[in-house]
Amino acid sequence: MSLGPLRSIVKSLLLVPNGALKRSLTAEQVQADFITLGLSEEKATYFSEKWKQNAPTLARWAIGQTLMINQLIDMEWKFGVTSGSSELEKVGSIFLQLKLVVKKGNQTENLYIELTLPQFYSFLHEMERVRTSMECLS
């Protein structure tokens, strides 16, 4: 087997979770993406179950990486309720939109993140832990 096709497959397998994290995809959407890429239903279901288990941790890690590399200048959030969607179960679900203003070198950049309510509470808990740690250090 040539390395070219294998490299392409591995790259696709890495890009799907990366893109899913950036776009806050649900486990069902991740499963659909893997099926579109040609994975069997069984393997796509396995990946989606793992995504459901690990997505909040990965989101916190990604935010942590952003905050480590870039200085956080400001943060704003807005709560919202989904009033219309092509997916009936999403109607009425609560979400949170975060706007992070970070300093990259001499420039500032706005980063936008959308979180479900459980993801927000997990993020809030982590931020409270950070605040407590910073208070202990000062």
In the chain, the domains with their CATH numbers are 3-66 (no CATH), 70-137 (2.30.31)
Q: What is the pLDDT of residues 78-98, one digit of tens each?
A: 988 877 767 767 777 888 898
Q: What pLDDT does 137 receive?
A: 66
Q: What Rg, from alpha-carbon coordinates, does the chain have?
A: 18
* pTM for this model (two decimals): 0.42
Q: What pLDDT does 2 receive?
A: 67
